[in-house]
Structure 1
């Protein structure tokens, strides 16, 4: 008799456990609530990009960190809720921040004033900040695109079209990705 229970064994169970060694605790995630394809995992990769490149496929809802030997670390992501909100093209990570400050964009305040108006002046980093514990800032031609790779307060939305345009990762995944990539990393967003 086969069980319908998902086995939450290593390594994934440890990937998504609570992190207590941060300035603010990072809650554990019940990964049984997230489809398994969106869990962090090393996969075969056939793209032609150089190792160290980040490739985000907004249609598939995956972010790939290209590795040597035809492999990549794959992370599930949440993307812009409307097609026009998604960044497309090539950018560079020009800034990295731990527990970043967040300020909603003028467009976010305009389109959802009830949600973003009260925090129009911004919010310090911390457990209630929508960027989560890390942010990677995407720049093009030396200018901030205002798009980020960042954590989320809503890990169970990974794999969905839900954001105001940024690429969301599970908090433990953005911490992992942040530790793997330096400033200057090339990011390609397709869809």
Structure 2
């Protein structure tokens, strides 16, 4: 029997036992070509404002997001075990692998340049709600006037570029400095936009956050679509 999409995307257990960039696009009174002309009731609910948080999580303006980057259940064949997160930077998707060749697919934004992106397998070593953001030394060296003032870090909150949740990836016991996190710029999902981390819509990173425990495996594919070791 097919899984009910709304129940799945809104929070079923799913068959399982760097970071500031560009201005918003200018939008006319009509939706841009290829985007949602009318709001699907399910997606309006999925991407509604989130209550009960210490800081606001506003609703997503669906007219700013290409429909293919909205969360959905899809067929996905992989050798990875259920519970693994597979990130495909080339396709701009992250997949939470489920049973029976299915996955939850999330649209993502990736690094501005190929060299910014981590590749290979890692482990979620830490999860944080409303995380503190500190630019890396490389970011400060590249753009000192932009990032130097944040060298001491920026507390979590509505203006923090990591958004409401972050997943911290480690490999061989060491921090890769690579995160999956939210964003204050939802219109950038689907683009090459970040300083190397993977960004998701805030409602999507909150959904993924509650589905994956610490210790979960994450695989970031190479440009060929295959794992890079």
Q: Which blocks of at least 5 consecutive residues in structure 1 are unaligned?
A: none
Pick from 190, 193, 197 the counterpart of residue 162 of structure 1. Answer: 193
2:92 is the alignment partner of 1:44: no
Q: CA deviation at 1:19?
A: 1.0
SS of equivalent to 1:56: strand
2:217 corresponding residue in structure 1 = 186
List aligned pairs for 1:17-166, cutoff 5 A: 17-166=48-197
Moved more, 9-18 or 157-166: 9-18
CA distance, structure 2, for counterparts of residue 180 and residue 137 of structure 1: 15
SS of equivalent to 1:11: helix
What number of residue pairs does the alignment pair up? 188
Q: CA deviation at 1:10?
A: 2.7
CA distance, structure 1, for counterparts of residue 76 and residue 90 of structure 2: 17
SS of equivalent to 1:32: helix
Q: When you count strand as a share of all residues, which structure comes out higher?
A: 1
TM-score (norm 2): 0.80
Moved over 6 A (4+): none
In angstroms, what is the RMSD of aligned CA positions? 1.0
Q: Which blocks of at least 5 consecutive residues in structure 2 are unaligned?
A: 1-32, 224-229
SS of equivalent to 1:100: coil
Q: CA deviation at 1:97?
A: 0.3
1:8 corresponding residue in structure 2 = 39
Q: Deviations over 1:28-65 (max 9, x none)?
A: 11112111110000001111211000000000000000
TM-score (norm 1): 0.96
Q: Is the 8 A contact 2:64 2:186 kept in 1?
A: no
